[in-house]
Structure 1
């Protein structure tokens, strides 16, 4: 994982106070300014002595009666400890972080006039950076729950930050906390400027599907397909989910639009075959499956569906003829038509078994054909193959 550094040499702004400053607060600010000069050129460790000098001065300032209740004192105390937490690689880092967090709360409560708002905003970036760093360390150790916790804490300081939202969602997915992943990813959906926006929308749809929430899965698939009409993956997700939900009438036009854009996409023709079949337009369904097989003759599902569709059409014609009162000559002609339909299904039924000899559907459909033809040897052979699958 590549880390986006939220804070890179942030400037700390000077603020005025209504009371005269003591020497310790002035000294702390001067030392912290020196540290930031070094930090701004990418070498914060070189300013460690100035940072510690600032800390010592501030520890005195928070005990002095003239500065102990100043928002500026606590803001700088929080800033200094936050930077120390970032610099320190030992267990002491957590202690600095705790002091920074407590000082931040004190500063916020005292800053009623919002005079330290800019510096508190910078402080939030430093605290978020600390949590981001911890999250990345946990991620690299495959401790995804701890990574999520750290990234989520970072959002307390930078609500809505896209990097933290994305990383926390990703860590939640990897720790199988899918509800938490959704809560983060959903926030990213409307942010067009986020570089992975398309993938996020697709992931949101898939996560809802994993949760058994088909309604929201379809909702976000449709959002993605509308927002990125040229993206095949989002279009396919939208089509598949609507087919699963039985929205064939609704999705047929969408599939045809995609076919017009990508006529050699075998899956689109297959989906169109399913949609037409479910709506009862069997002629168009058959044509769609055949188009898919023109593109890929070994397309297993298209062979299974087309063979089964034709077989069922023959069965319907056979039953309709048997239930009609027809002269013998007409009856014989219609029964022959039914058997001709059965025979036209055979190439697809056989091809399906050829492509995948372990497909239950392929074997069962071919067995049905031979049951109609009353070929006991073939029936027994296929039944043995079906039994072997179990």
Structure 2
């Protein structure tokens, strides 16, 4: 009786192995015929028993599974990329363990091809604004080909574009840990026959120059991306509300790039957000000294000075902005507002005065000073109207100033210009 059971078990095992091989063959045939979906179905029938198969069959199964899912990925199934990768790696693991390497070189080639396919698919995803998917594919490409760290850099960029800030931070920190520079060298030389400068690899370029068919070799290095990476890390920390880490990142970035205006501005804005307006003003002044011809810098320095009540300093900054860009409307409006604000600051004292001769004299003095300030504010905007006569903001603010001054003639003129 025991012998019969043993024979039945052996027969059962043989039948399973036979069916398993048939399913793998059917999957292989379907794949060769271009039916990757049918191949997947056939192969899945063997999945439940593959762990009990011999190493040769397992390696065949996983290699074929990798090819099937790679084909599915090429046909648009984005979820198939990861399965293809794990399948190829499992086939390689089985062969390494067993000491038999039938698919080793082929697996290496298939994975390299798959990395290229994922990069191409990521480019398409980015074009279609599927940034999360693009970032994930680029990261998988990098893991398949770690020497191509540029894939990791672009994975981080895609994650940022998709708002996946924590994922982007992981990628950027990995780049930092790797010491990624991102700078590249292009080897160029001028074609003697055409006079055109061409890009080649270094060996080819040097040979061409030596042969005399090319001349004037040039090595051009693109800028390092280290500063950009640290800046982006800081911006992400700011976005995530981790302001202390963001400040540390800006300090690190500025050690290597002390004159990077964008870094200075970003750090300044963070200090402003944190309520440290003195530090903001200090950094804005530093930025203005680095880029003195940037009207926005002077304008922003004017804004913070105006908020702090430093009206003369604010006016100086607005005037600098207008020297660089005479049509800077916001600078014109704010410059005018500094005079109006100073004039309004006199009203409380005017209202507190009594009817004595001294009080009346003081009232008249303050009223004249207020009206003079309002007139200076109006003069700024009248000058602005000469080059921007239809600007609604300028017209409205000017109308309000004349209304506050009691200048009915100019008030009605502005109402008419506004179409009221």
Give the TM-score range, shorter chain. 0.5 to 0.7
The alignment status of 1:104 with 2:89, answered yes or no, reads yes
CA distance in 1, matches of 2:90, 2:277: 56
Aligned pair 1:312/2:341, yes or no?
yes
Of structures 1 and 2, the larger Rg is shown by: 2
Select 1:193's aligned residue among 178, 181, 194.
181
Whether the aligned pair in 2 keeps the contact of 1:132 and 1:164 (CA below 8 Å) is: no
CA distance in 1, matches of 2:110, 2:328: 55
- Is 2:379 aligned against 1:347? yes
Q: Which runs of 5+ in 1 are unaligned?
A: 1-61
* Equivalent position to 2:289, from 239, 252, 260: 260
Unaligned runs of 5+ in 2: 1-50, 183-223
Change over 3 Å in CA distance of 1:321–1:189 after alignment to 2: farther
Matching of residue 271 in structure 1 with residue 295 in structure 2? no
1:130 aligns with 2:114: yes
Residue number in structure 2 paired with 1:332: 364
Structure 2 residue corresponding to 1:139, chosen from 112, 123, 130: 123
The offset of 1:382, in angstroms, is 4.2
CA distance in 2, matches of 1:284, 1:130: 61
Q: 1:239 aligns with which of 261, 265, 268?
A: 268
Asked if structure 2 preserves the Cα contact closer than 8 Å seen for 1:78 and 1:100, the reply is no
Q: Secondary structure at the match of 2:309?
A: coil
SS of the residue corresponding to residue 327 of structure 1 reads: helix
Of structures 1 and 2, the one with the larger relative CO (CA 8 A, separation 6+) is 1
Instruction: Indicate how the Cα distance of structure 1 residues 189 and 294 shifts in structure 2: closer, same or farther if over 3 A, else same.
Output: farther
**Aligned CA distance change for structure 1 residues 101 and 273 (closer, same or farther; 3 Å):** same
SS in 1 for 2:346: helix
- Write the mapping of 1:220-231 to structure 2, written as runs, cut at 5 A: 223-231=252-260
Alignment RMSD, CA only? 4.9
Richer in strand (by share): 2
Q: How many residues align?
A: 315
For 1:331 and 1:100, locate their aligned partners in 2 and report how far apart those are by CA, in whole Å: 85
Aligned to 1:171: 158
CA distance in 2, matches of 1:245, 1:96: 44
SS at match of 2:380: helix
Deviations 1:74-126 (A, max 9, x none): 7x9999998999999977xx9999576335246558979xx9xxxx9x98897
- What's the TM-score, normalizing by structure 1? 0.61
Offset at 1:311?
1.0
Q: CA deviation at 1:136?
A: 1.9
Cα shift readout 1:227-281 (whole Å, capped 9, x = no counterpart): 4222222223333444455432122222222333333333222222222222332
Q: Distance in 2 between matches of 1:351 and 1:217?
A: 47
